[in-house]
Chain A
Amino acid sequence: MLENKLDIILTTDRSMMTTHHGKEFLGFMATGPAVGMPERLWMWIACPKMRTDSAGRPWQAPYALRKLEALLQDRGYNAAVIDPDHVNKYLADAKILMLSHHDYFALCPPSSEWWVVTKKEPVNSKSFRSFMDGLNLAEAKRRGLKIIVGGPAAWQWLYKPDLIERWGIDTIVDGEGERVVTGLVERVYAGEPLPRYVFVGPSDVPSIEEIPLIKRPSINGLIEIMRGCPRGCKFCSVTLRPLRHIPLDRIEKEMLVNVEGGVESGILHSEDILLYGAMGLKLNPDALIKLHQLARRHWKSIAWSHASLAAVKNAEEEYHLISKIMEIVKSGGQDYLGVEVGIETGSVRLARKIMPAKSAPYPPEMWPEIVEDAFAIMHENNIVPAATLILGLPEETPDDVMKTAELIDRLRPYRSLIVPMFFVPMGILKNKDWFTDVKVTDEHIEVMRRCLWHSIYWAEKILSEFYLRNPKYFPLRWMLQLFLKYATYKGRLIERKLGLTPLGRREKYGEEVLAAAQ
């Protein structure tokens, strides 16, 4: 198919084109700088190189790139996803280079948060810059190569006019690309000028039938089961897009593409897995059971990308659905399931203001209780959440932040990782040094150190009891355990420096966890 030539190259840098050793949570490390170890080693842990064929096509590739690849191939274009190490050999003949990324310049959380805390540039941004600088772009641009960039971080280019110039970026596509990309490609083939920027509004997102099915494996078997979210949280852009549920037959076809390509486990992707097939926010147990039965039938292990805490509580309390789903999951020999969840805040006042529907079907006044109940349900069912919360939300008061700190204390008995993230309003980004301008208050520090000790305590257990149990992961586990020891040492040091009463004795924290659990 490739014939040593490609008209359209789809690619991204190593921080995205990697399997993270088949452990998606390790991808979090790709959003930070190397801490306590050489960058090369950090990159090996977080973003090992991808296996490729002789043409440089990666075994697995980011799902968004796979979708575009399918779309373009369906329209008859000579297009393929290429591993970043092999892009140069196709540049001489290519008409278009298409790039996608979750966080080109480390401006999104959690990269921005790592940057604030460590004052060091995260590896994802460094990796992307070094990838771009390593391409033979000058000659290709002289010959007429067009560069189109997109993905969820497309907006970041608007803050980087110097890099738009330096690398000759032609078009930025912000939003779902199915109705845009072929139009752009046609313009390139016709020699017509390209627009500088395209924002795809809610009216122009594709229908289910317009979303192509991937033709080759996606990273860690990730498959989209829904697009959009009905919860309407003010800090989130996904919620602005119409909700679309992908039918089971289409999901199954993509599962089979992965399995036949040798990716035997998978991640169900949605902003809220438990809303699959839902009528608005009313859960649909039948659809969820069928979805998990399907996944069980084809996959060795199942993971969820995201779930909302209100849905976890509602699913279990009203339908015993979490237990039922976990029965299905465990029937294949798998004994835990990973997922990302959003706590965001422990303050009812803020919850009411910025995410009034996140607690639905419960009122926002119940938010802290919902979080705690959902954590308890997940703990009992061996669902391991990586939770995020947001610091510095607009109109946040010290009291709001302390409410979050109190909530984290109440979550101690529950197996989980909790990662604080700074809210970065667009206005602040106008200043190019925005990341040094974030005001970290005493209350923020209280939340951050609680998250640190909570996560260190539970990470050790999760690594050894669940996540990296297989002997093939022992070297990786050992290195991560070393990293946790280093983080413990640094955490204690910082607490001493700030004159804080230590929360950070791991043994002590463990005792407190046990006491809280009793």
Chain B
Amino acid sequence: MTSTLKLLSSNSPLSSERLAGAGCLFSQKFLKIWFAGELDEKAVEHLKRKLGEALARRERRILLRFYLEEGSHESYYDALRNILLSNVSLSIVVEERPASELERDLEKASGEEILLVLGRGASKPSRSAGLIVEEVEGDARE
């Protein structure tokens, strides 16, 4: 058994690097992308592009937070599926919040690095440190 164990540990691609980073997924570093506005086709493509760019930059984990208006349920899942099922490499955590909480959350997260993507119908928030704002092809409201 000893030889097998030796072989197994030397063969494991996980051993040293992985154990160093072991622990709860939620305590790891995430690239944070928040989205507000209508999650239409353009927005979905924009977010998929963001995931692709993150992967190219060797990011490993993305936190996607959606600020949702009430009653957008079914189309939201269609869009979510489209975004999520295109991914196989990144760890992704999806959070949902009511759209009304965006400003408050931005204030609370001041100083954190966040990419805020604004879709159709979303208002531009007041700027805060660490926040990068992108619009889905000029869809956001001034």
- Which residue of A179, A208, A287 contacts B24 across the interface (Cβ within 8 Å)? A179
Interface string of A177-206 (1 = CB under 8 A from B): 001101100010000010111111111111
A499 within 8 A of B: no
Name the B residues within 8 Å of A247 (CB-CB): 4-5, 8-9
Q: CA A158 – CA B74 in complex, angstroms?
A: 10
- Which residue of A155, A196, A204 contacts B96 across the interface (Cβ within 8 Å)? A196
**Closest Cβ of chain B: how far from A326's Cβ, in Å?**
21
Q: CA A209 – CA B20 in complex, angstroms?
A: 12
Name the B residues within 8 Å of A165 (CB-CB): 73
Q: CA A203 – CA B58 in complex, angstroms?
A: 11
Q: CA A499 – CA B22 in complex, angstroms?
A: 61
Known contacts A195-B93, A204-B28, A277-B4, A155 near B23 by CB under 8 Å: no
Instruction: For A243, give the chain B residue with the smallest CB separation.
Output: B13
Name the B residues within 8 Å of A179 (CB-CB): 22-25
Name the A residues within 8 Å of B76 (CB-CB): 161
- Which residue of A183, A208, A240, A284 contacts B89 across the interface (Cβ within 8 Å)? A240
CB–CB B23/A158 < 8 A: no
Known contacts A179-B23, A242-B14, A204 near B94 by CB under 8 Å: no
Q: CA A200 – CA B95 in complex, angstroms?
A: 15
A245 within 8 A of B: yes
Most A CB contacts (10 A, CB to CB) among B13, B23, B81, B90 go to B81
CB–CB A199/B84 < 8 A: yes
* Number of residues from A at the complex interface, CB < 8 A: 48
B56 within 8 A of A: no
Name the A residues within 8 Å of B1 (CB-CB): 248-249, 290
Q: CA A310 – CA B6 in complex, angstroms?
A: 26
CB–CB A286/B3 < 8 A: yes
Among B65-96, those with CB < 8 Å from A are 73-74, 76-78, 80-81, 84-85, 87-96
Name the A residues within 8 Å of B3 (CB-CB): 286
Instruction: For A158, give the chain B residue with the smallest CB separation.
Output: B81
CB–CB A210/B22 < 8 A: yes
Name the A residues within 8 Å of B91 (CB-CB): 175, 198-201, 203-204
Q: CA A311 – CA B87 in complex, angstroms?
A: 30
Using CB atoms and an 8 Å cutoff, list the residues of chain A in contact with chain B. Answer: 155, 158-159, 161-162, 164-165, 175, 179-180, 182-183, 187, 193, 195-210, 237, 240, 242-245, 247-249, 277-279, 284, 286-287, 290, 426, 430
Using CB atoms and an 8 Å cutoff, list the residues of chain B in contact with chain A. Answer: 1, 3-5, 7-9, 11-15, 18-19, 21-28, 60-61, 73-74, 76-78, 80-81, 84-85, 87-97
6 of the cross-chain contacts (CB-CB < 8 Å) are A162-B74, A195-B95, A205-B14, A208-B12, A287-B4, A426-B85
